[in-house]
Homo-oligomer: A and B are copies of this chain.
Amino acid sequence: MVKRTSRDIRTANRYEVLRQIIAESPTSRQELAAATGLSLATVATLVGELLDLRMLTEVGFEDSAGGRPRGLVAVNAAGGALIGVDIAETYVRAELFDLGLNVLARAAEHMRPGESRPEQVVGHVTTAVGSVVAQAGIEGARVLGVGVSVPGQVDRVTGVAEYAPNWDWHDVPLLDLLTEHIAYPLHLDNPLRACAVAELWFGAARGHANAVVVNLGTGVGAGLVIGGGVHRGVSNSAGEWGHTTLVLDGRLCHCGNHGCVETYVGAPGIMLNLRELDPGGALLHPEDQTATVDALARGVAAGDPVAVKVVRDTARYLGAGISDLVNLLNPEIVVLSSWVAATLGEPLVAEVREAVARHALKRPLAATEIVLSPIPGDPVCLGAATFALEGALSSVTQRSSAARRGAPVPLKPV
């Protein structure tokens, strides 16, 4: 059974306040209290804590209606840096963010098909992290943490990559390997949850207690936000929606089953949809998912009937799958995320909305909206960095009032 303590309330409120400030920076304590529903006193102490941590700064005043001006606080961009690493099948990407979650530096490492040994991947991660730190010219001590997204199933407590289908990893002690090379606090999880956390903090799911973040990339999955937090399940593998059966005895999936959602709406699935419709067409770039999806997006924009049809077909599959999620989970919002969704954009979402409207039950449907992720850039890196941010916020301990008032509190040592 989950054990909840009053500290969890504090942590959740800390998250909530910081989230609000990042979204609307600068802002006043008054506004924060109104937005979060907390009392002014609580907001003030939380803001005080964050000021002590150097995560916020006071940035002047705002006129009030005649009385004392409101003090404004803003994210202290220079107060620390967060690094998000996105390990994918063919690349490792790292981004370094300031505390406003603006990208200060990027690095990408290409991985050749053969490079699948853990040490090789760890090497690339180390290089990428080193690169962004160097580029940004940040002192090491200011890096509050590194979040790492690794595909597959991850045990976030022990940091073991239990299973990564791309490379057939089994129980690789990734955290231990990374710790040998990276001195910052590390946080591991998978891209599904990274995207979910990114939407929850900075994207369309902000302020929603129940949301589904559908991930459309090469693989497909769903990050589940339930009760204001990411649902992880008992062994941290919740959200494996890509291998939901959509078509009994349908297309063969690499998972061994037939008819998985992924085989119809993942990038390779979309290519197959296209190939079935127009085998020798110009839109298809065999062996290049990105180019094909790009071509489809351009085709739809140009009114190419083949492209329109392929997107519509894909949306139908997707709509059927999403309807199931809507019926089952009754979320407030469904967010379409990841590169395929970003590339195909609104035309896809519009078709999906229609398809869901046809399939889903009326009541849950009425409570749900379906939107495109508003996050620019790589949501996985952002989400991974958010893991680091959450980590930094959870480890805040009670400070003596002497420390709170007087001497600067040193940043979390590496």
Chain B residue with the shortest CB-CB distance to A239: B328
The answer to whether the Cβ of A298 comes within 8 Å of any Cβ in the partner chain is no
Chain B residue with the shortest CB-CB distance to A206: B1
| Contacting residue for A233 out of B239, B250, B364, CB 8 A | B364
Contact B210 A330 (CB under 8 A): no
The answer to whether the Cβ of A303 comes within 8 Å of any Cβ in the partner chain is no
The answer to whether the Cβ of A301 comes within 8 Å of any Cβ in the partner chain is no
Q: Which residues of B contact A236 (CB under 8 A)?
A: 330
Q: Which residues of B contact A368 (CB under 8 A)?
A: 234
A250 to B359, CA, bound (A): 13
Contact B4 A234 (CB under 8 A): no
A364 to B257, CA, bound (A): 15
Q: Which residues of B contact A207 (CB under 8 A)?
A: 1
Contact A330 B6 (CB under 8 A): no
The answer to whether the Cβ of A237 comes within 8 Å of any Cβ in the partner chain is yes
Chain B residue with the shortest CB-CB distance to A362: B163
Which stretch in A71-79, A220-228, A273-281, A377-385 binds the other chain? A220-228
Contact A238 B329 (CB under 8 A): yes
Q: A311-338, CB under 8 A of B: which get 1 and which 0?
A: 0000000001101110111111000000
Contact B328 A153 (CB under 8 A): no
| Contacting residue for A2 out of B227, B247, B361, CB 8 A | B227
Q: Is the interface of A mostly helix, strand, loop or mixed?
A: loop
Given A1-B228, A12-B4, A226-B227, A330 contacting B234 (CB threshold 8 A): yes
The answer to whether the Cβ of A174 comes within 8 Å of any Cβ in the partner chain is no
The answer to whether the Cβ of A232 comes within 8 Å of any Cβ in the partner chain is yes
Contact A330 B248 (CB under 8 A): no
Number of copies: 2
The answer to whether the Cβ of A363 comes within 8 Å of any Cβ in the partner chain is yes
Q: Which residues of B contact A2 (CB under 8 A)?
A: 209, 227-228
The answer to whether the Cβ of A3 comes within 8 Å of any Cβ in the partner chain is yes
Q: Give the one of A239, A257, A327, A362 with max B CB within 10 A.
A: A327
The answer to whether the Cβ of A34 comes within 8 Å of any Cβ in the partner chain is no
Contact B363 A153 (CB under 8 A): yes
Given A37-B3, A330-B233, A330-B235, A361 contacting B243 (CB threshold 8 A): yes
Contact B227 A361 (CB under 8 A): no
- In A29-43, which residues have CB < 8 Å from any B CB? 36-37
The answer to whether the Cβ of A400 comes within 8 Å of any Cβ in the partner chain is no
Minimum CB–CB distance from A6 to chain B (whole Å) comes to 5
Q: Which residues of B contact A320 (CB under 8 A)?
A: 245, 248
Contact B241 A328 (CB under 8 A): yes
Interface contacts beyond A226-B226, A240-B361, A248-B259: sample of 20 additional A-B pairs, CB < 8 Å, sorted by A: A1-B36, A3-B37, A4-B8, A6-B6, A163-B362, A210-B234, A226-B231, A234-B368, A235-B367, A236-B330, A237-B361, A237-B367, A239-B330, A240-B330, A241-B328, A244-B328, A245-B323, A245-B359, A246-B248, A257-B359
- For the complex of A and B, list the 10 residue pairs with the smallest distance between their C-beta atoms, beginning with the closest: A233-B330, A238-B330, A240-B327, A235-B367, A244-B324, A247-B248, A234-B332, A153-B363, A237-B364, A237-B330
Sample 26 A-B pairs with CB under 8 A, ordered by A number.
A1-B36, A1-B207, A1-B208, A1-B209, A1-B228, A4-B8, A4-B9, A222-B328, A224-B328, A226-B227, A226-B231, A233-B367, A235-B363, A235-B364, A236-B330, A237-B330, A237-B364, A237-B367, A238-B330, A240-B327, A240-B330, A243-B327, A244-B328, A247-B248, A325-B328, A328-B328
